[in-house]
Amino acid sequence: MAGILVCGTSSDAGKSLVVTGLCRALRRRGVDVAPYKAQNMSNNSMVCADGAEIGRAQYLQALAARVEPTSAMNPVLLKPGTDRRSFVVLRGRPAGTLEAGEYATGRRQLAEAAYAAYDELASAHKIVVCEGAGSPGEINLRAGDYVNLGLARAKSLPVVLVGDIDRGGQLASIFGHWAIVDDADRSCFAGYVINKFRGDVAVLEPGLSELSRRTGLPCLGVLPWLDGVWLDGEDALELARWRAHGAGVAASGSEVLRVAVVAFPRTSNATDVDALAHEAGVDVVVTRDPVRVRDADLVVLPGSRSTLDDLAWLRDSGIAAEVSARAAAGRPVLGICGGYQMLAREIGDEAGVESAAAAGAGRMTPGLGLLPVRVSFGIEKILGRPRGTWRGHEVVGYEIHHGICDLAAGTAEPFLDGCRVGSVWGTLWHGAMENDAFRRAWLTEIAGAAGSAWRPRDGVPGFADRREAMIDTLADAVEAHLDLDALLALAR
């Protein structure tokens, strides 16, 4: 077995980016490589070809490695439903819940499944590039850990620490991680990488030399700040700091299409809006401000891991009233998955699948009433890779939901698997906006309804092409700025 574990000094330190870049750089060298993350805690997920649900980042890393994504690459996915409860996805399928008090102690079954998945990948590929979770310095969680140093010890993996220097304090943080763990765990550390550096590396080198002298760990490279690389995120922090990176064609005034994406407390699959931000002249903001919702040309209600709780929040925040006012005025609104369900007339969760407060026969919660749909939550999760058309444009998406949407017959125009009434659109399909021709045709109609002069720009690359280009940009940076030979030797 050959592998390496990339850990971070914090969440969102750049682990996913480094693993993605390594997978592509090693594949370029002809190495049969596969990504792996024992456990994700994320509401951003994807459906594999076989119907298994995994973290969005591992799906993308598999594309970087040019291998078919499978559930073994992310055997445990925890999807937060509340601050103290997560829904468990085990080998791509629902497997109950995990309460906060069980996080450090109740995970033996999950660890066994994760280790078995690693062995499966290691037997099928020459090298497995593993990604840690959070920080390996969280010694309060060490006893039940199977994704950071627990994994490293169990599978004899060398550990590379990644620190995001744009946040500051990374020399101390790397030293602190080395110092705080016990001797046996410390022996797993094999080196460190500095991420997101801006400026002259010579200014940093005295600190790196002293850090290496004190810890005995080599610096395996300094990755520069890579502007415009916004690969699919998985951390909750990603949405809070989310920025639109347009495709580089300037637009102003009436040529801009302003899109406001509502940031639910339990937003799921927020990556749906990445394809909108990719489009030149489309200005996307993720917001909880009712004024921005009022002023936008298009408002998007994205997916939600807790549809009824987020619907209650939507009402309390004042945003629900703004969405209803938009619909009454004929101004565009799009609901995706959970957001679509919120636009329905009523929602039932008799079995308490998402909300224990809603459980009980006949108990219905009023939706926003903007689409002629009745939603009922089923025990079985629906996972799939649907295909369809909209006005002659091919659309491929993916679906991850418990909610079943029953549309009143003959009351609305079909839209993918959902519907449209006036300026209000809804679909359960994630990923639909990644289809270039469909996205541009649909946005053109939205712009017309909103009174915007926005139109698609000629010569703008497709979404998948740009994502491939960003993976290659990462791989270029790994090859230019990291000691890839040393990393490969460590993995072997």
The DSSP line for 286-347 is: EE--HHHHHH-SEEEE-EESSHHHHHHHHHHHTHHHHHHHHHHTT--EEEETHHHHHTSSEE
Percent of the chain with pLDDT over 70: 92
Per-residue pLDDT band at 357 (split at 50, 70, 90):
low
**pLDDT at res. 355:** 65
Q: Would residue 430 show up in a list of annotated catalytic residues for this protein?
A: yes
Is residue 78 predicted with pLDDT exceeding 50?
yes
Residue type present at position 83: D
In whole angstroms, how far apart are CA 280 and each of 17, 67, 178, 185, 243? 24, 31, 45, 48, 14
Residue 262: DSSP 8-state: E
Across 188-196, average pLDDT? 96
**pLDDT at res. 387:** 96
Across 361-383, average pLDDT? 88
Is residue 370 predicted with pLDDT exceeding 50?
yes
Q: Average pLDDT, whole number, for the chain? A: 90
- Strand order of the sheet with strand 93-99? 39-41, 76-82, 85-90, 93-99
CA distance 407 to 199: 57
CA distance 89 to 105: 18
Nearby residues of 221 by Cβ (< 8 Å), 6 or more positions away: 193, 194, 481, 482, 483
Is residue 219 predicted with pLDDT exceeding 70?
yes
Q: How do residues 90-99 score in pLDDT, each as one tens digit?
A: 999 988 877 7
Q: How do residues 257-272 score in pLDDT, each as one tens digit?
A: 999 999 999 888 888 8
Q: Would residue 245 show up in a list of annotated catalytic residues for this protein?
A: no
Is residue 313 predicted with pLDDT exceeding 90?
yes
CA distance 425 to 98: 34
Among residues 23, 219, 337, 419, which one is catalytic?
Answer: 337
**pLDDT at res. 253:** 64
CA distance 472 to 387: 28
Q: How do residues 124-140 score in pLDDT, each as one tens digit?
A: 999 999 999 999 999 99
Is residue 160 predicted with pLDDT exceeding 60?
yes
Across 79-92, average pLDDT? 82
Is residue 158 predicted with pLDDT exceeding 90?
yes
Report yes or no: 210 and 242 within 8 Å, Cβ to Cβ. Answer: no
What pairing do the DSSP bridges indicate for beta strands 85-90 and 93-99? Answer: antiparallel
Q: How do residues 222-250 score in pLDDT, each as one tens digit?
A: 999 998 787 765 544 454 334 444 444 44
Per-residue pLDDT band at 362 (split at 50, 70, 90):
low
Q: What is the DSSP string of 84-126?
A: TEEEEEETTEEEEEEEGGGTTTS-HHHHHHHHHHHHHHHHHSS
CA distance 369 to 390: 24
Among residues 125, 401, 430, 481, which one is catalytic?
Answer: 430
Q: What is the pTM of this model?
A: 0.88
